[in-house]
Amino acid sequence: MKIEKVDLVIVGAGPAGLAAAAEVARQNGTVIVLDESPLPGGRLPSQIHREPRSAGHGSDSWSNGAAKAESLASEAQRVGARILCGVSVWGIFPDWYVAVAPADSSRLRRDLPHGFEARAVLVATGAGQNPLILPGWTLPGVITAGAAQTMINVHRILPGHQAVIIGIDPLCLAVAQLMGAVGAKVLGVFLPPANGLQAGPASPKAAIQALAEFSAYAPGILLALAAKAGKYMSTIAAACFPQRGMTIEGLPLRLRQFALSISGSQRAATVKIAALGSDGRQIPGSAEQLQADVVITSSGLSPLVELAQVAGCPLHHVPEMGGWVPVHNDRFETPRPGLFIAGSISGVEGAGVAEIQGRIAGLAAADYLKLADSERLERDIQGHQENIIEARQAAISFYPHIEAGRKRMRRIWHSSFSNNK
């Protein structure tokens, strides 16, 4: 059985994994980066969106995730890291052995050993979209916001011509913008049903409060101002919001209407919607059917923690960070010596934040592996920890109260695991 020995295995070739690989390889460590996708970059290649104005960008400034992915991959490879894509990691075992297999079992991979023996492992698996559950949500033609981004930006496929978008979060706003930009008709951005199964807002008041939390990412100045006003007067704003919704800067917000169900004989064809009072209750007799050939949903993101858990890292449920999160400190070390995490697995944030987290985790791994002088590495870590504050101010806020979650994680670490370091 062919087994390869390396200093560090990184699982996940997104911004965190690629940045970590560059930092460790720069210290002359042998690094392998593994990812199931055919190309490196994680979610970056599908992310083409308007930049937040809070970061000093103009209203027409767009982020090119594909170019950023290529830049990070080139940096890592230039300093000696290897990137293997199309590879599934099916197990991480103590001391450390990383078991792998081709993501496509029909393809022979002569470049792929059965596994890797590593002195350390860094898990940077990112986050996944939560399902939005309502009758008809499993029909063909019902896709997540992330899937719509990938279809358009990576595969150059238009998901549909008449779109209904369900959910209120930054991903829904980004996809509504994107669908309009590529020529589709967006019939509206609607609330999800208040069935207790969704992570996002399900009432007009909650939706306006949510818009206020990420108003810097709003597509136009009018929506930003409306959202900020709603932060302080959400009850009044919900009562005053037009029943048929508003189209602001091209974005058709239907905050007083929600989706009841999706139907179609073989695929999604209609969406049943109904009106809501300002108190969030359905108005009797208000239901109607919308004809749509694609339904795009979003109900937030959650860290993909399974491999970290398999590797023996304890988890804590921290809703402000997106759900279950591996226990870690500010250097992204876990209670398991030699096991590190970085990126949205440590709490859901934007790609810019994930990149800096990867650099911190990579330097911490280099310190653990004794690849360079500890004092110099610690100075570099502290510099990146200062940079991450600025990155968070410029990033899209998926969980506006994530800093409270991070403070909670620090307390968990210091109360139970700080002596493990």
Q: For residues 32 and 11, what is the distance between their CA atoms, to the nearest angstrom? A: 9
Reduced to 3 DSSP states, what percent helix, strand and coil does the chain have, rounded to the nearest 5?
A: 35, 25, 35
Q: Which amino acid is at 124?
A: A
Share of the chain above pLDDT 70, in %: 84
Q: What angle do CA 248, 52, 219 make, to 5 degrees?
A: 10
The verdict on 158 and 270 lying in the same domain is yes
Question: Last residue of a domain, which of 297, 318, 334?
Answer: 297
Task: Give yes or no for residue 383 having a pLDDT over 50.
Answer: yes
Task: Give yes or no for residue 109 having a pLDDT over 70.
Answer: yes
The verdict on 214 and 117 lying in the same domain is no
Q: Is 291 exposed, middle or buried (0-12, 13-18, 19+ CB in 10 A)?
A: exposed
Q: Are 133 and 126 in contact (CB under 8 A)?
A: no
pLDDT at 384: 94
Q: For residues 191 and 168, what is the distance between their CA atoms, to the nearest angstrom? A: 7
The verdict on 234 and 163 lying in the same domain is yes
Mean pLDDT of the chain: 87
The verdict on 122 and 139 lying in the same domain is no
The verdict on 140 and 224 lying in the same domain is yes
The verdict on 20 and 152 lying in the same domain is no
The verdict on 32 and 115 lying in the same domain is yes
CATH code of the domain containing 120:
3.50.50.60
pLDDT at 278: 66
Instruction: Tell me which DSSP letter residue 284 carries.
Output: T
Task: Give yes or no for residue 216 having a pLDDT over 70.
Answer: no
The verdict on 172 and 119 lying in the same domain is no
Q: For residues 266 and 278, what is the distance between their CA atoms, to the nearest angstrom? A: 35
Q: Which residues pair with 297 in a beta bridge?
A: 144, 166
Instruction: Tell me which DSSP letter residue 111 carries.
Output: T
At 401, the pLDDT band (50, 70, 90 cuts) reads confident
The verdict on 268 and 326 lying in the same domain is no
Q: For residues 300 and 77, what is the distance between their CA atoms, to the nearest angstrom? A: 33
At 147, the pLDDT band (50, 70, 90 cuts) reads very high
Task: Give yes or no for residue 358 having a pLDDT over 90.
Answer: yes
CA separation, residue 251 to residues 4, 179, 187, 255 (Å): 52, 10, 10, 12
pLDDT at 218: 47
Query: How many CB atoms within 10 Å of residue 39?
Result: 17
The verdict on 259 and 315 lying in the same domain is no
Kind and range of the H or E run holding 52: none
Task: Give yes or no for residue 191 having a pLDDT over 80.
Answer: yes
The verdict on 36 and 160 lying in the same domain is no
Residue of 297, 305, 319, 308 lying closest to 402 (CA atoms): 319
Q: Which residues are within 8 A (CB) of 266 and not within 5 positions of it... i.e. 6 or more apart?
A: 140
pLDDT at 37: 93
Question: Last residue of a domain, which of 277, 297, 317?
Answer: 297
Residue 314 backbone dihedrals phi, psi, to 5 degrees: -70, 150
Compute the average pLDDT of residues 33-44.
93
Question: Last residue of a domain, which of 281, 297, 313?
Answer: 297
Compute the average pLDDT of residues 252-270.
92
Alpha helices in 198-304 (DSSP H): 204-213, 221-232, 234-240
> For strand 162-166 and strand 185-191, is the pairing parallel, antiparallel, or unpaired?
parallel
Structure-block tokens of residue 256: 């007083």
Give the range of the structural domain holding residue 171, as residue numbers without chain letter: 131-297
The verdict on 274 and 305 lying in the same domain is no
- The SS3 call for residue 395 is coil
Compute the average pLDDT of residues 268-279.
88
pLDDT at 107: 80
Structure-block tokens of residue 17: 């994994």
Q: Are 63 and 71 in contact (CB under 8 A)?
A: no
Q: Which residues pair with 32 in a beta bridge?
A: 9, 82
Q: Based on the structure, what is the number of domains in the chain? A: 2
pLDDT at 222: 44
